[in-house]
Amino acid sequence: PVLQTKLSLCLSLQFCPALLMVRCPCPWQIFIRSTDCDRTLMSAETNLAGLYPPEGQQMFNPNISWQPIPVHTVPESEERQAHKMDLPAWVTPDVMTHLKQLKDFGFEFLFGIHNRVEKARLQGGVLLNHIRKNLTKAANVSAHQNLKLLAYSAHDTTLVALQMALDVYNKIQAPYASCHLFELYQEDDGNFSVEMFFRNESGKEPFPLTIPGCQHTCPLQRFLELTDPVVPQDWEQECQVASSVHDTELFVGLAVCGSILLLLIILLLTVLFRIQSQPPGYRHVSNDGEEQA
């Protein structure tokens, strides 16, 4: 909570009042999205509590300096329970240092090194595509825009994937309460530009980020051109996601084949059982006494 509160203070100094304009968290001016995870939901709520302290009629209780602000999420298909366990004896500072190095390399290997652009189209490019669409929508002066702030509360892997798609990743895992900022400005000539910042350390100003091929204050059109190669045009097609119809046909086919195989096994077992249970054949053996009689 302390780190998130400091982040909200930093965002307040960075954006208010020039961009947020008002202290009222009107639902048509802000949209907050979080993954369905306790820590990201609480991070988003803590940030909002620092960004929008209640004022005037918003104070429903004089003893509570907080007001409810909606945070949107999508529930996970299955829940995971966290287990609190003591660290084993082998966990030493030296081991943790090596693990950190391996972890940082693992992030870079997962999202980059080989086929970075192709990976980005299926990973960070998906989120970047949403950001590009919102920047383009906000720059449409002909449409009446009310949205002032769009925020995503997510994970370090989400941030790494996004920065790898933008080719601005510093090869170090993002610490808690890190924040990647996109700022959209309208210039005096009416054109729009994009600036990016990265806040990964409390007590310091966000670091400016420059996308390769452009200056820090990058024209929006140039920004879109540079990021176009890492944005999927059809994610399901490129990722080869099977359609629901195909899945149904595959399931039915497997069920039919499985049923036929089961019937054959039952038939084979039945035949073998009858062969084993059949009594041996009887043959009359004559003797001398029977022949004389």
Q: What pLDDT sits at residue 220?
A: 94
Confidence grade of residue 78 (pLDDT, cut at 50, 70, 90): very low
Summarize pLDDT for 170-180 with one digit per residue, the tens. 888 887 878 89
| pLDDT exceeds cutoff 50 at 83 | no
Confidence grade of residue 8 (pLDDT, cut at 50, 70, 90): low
* Share of residues in the chain with pLDDT > 70 (%): 72
Confidence grade of residue 21 (pLDDT, cut at 50, 70, 90): very low
Per-position DSSP letters for the chain, written without gaps between them:
-HHHHHHHHHHHHHHTTTTT--SS--TTTEEEEE-S-HHHHHHHHHHHHHH----GGG-SSTT--------B----SS-------PPPTT--HHHHHHHHHHHHHHHHHHHSSSSHHHHHHHTHHHHHHHHHHHHHHHT-TTS-----EEEEE--HHHHHHHHHHHT---SS---TT-EEEEEEEE-TTS-EEEEEEEE-STTSPPEEE--TTS-SSEEHHHHHHHHGGGS-SSHHHHTTPPPHHHHHHHHHHHHHHHHHHHHHHHHHHHHHHHHHHSPPPP-----HHHHH-
| pLDDT exceeds cutoff 70 at 244 | no
Summarize pLDDT for 130-187 with one digit per residue, the tens. 899 989 988 887 767 777 778 888 888 888 889 888 988 888 888 787 889 999 998 8
What is the average pLDDT score of the chain?
76
pTM, rounded to two decimals: 0.54
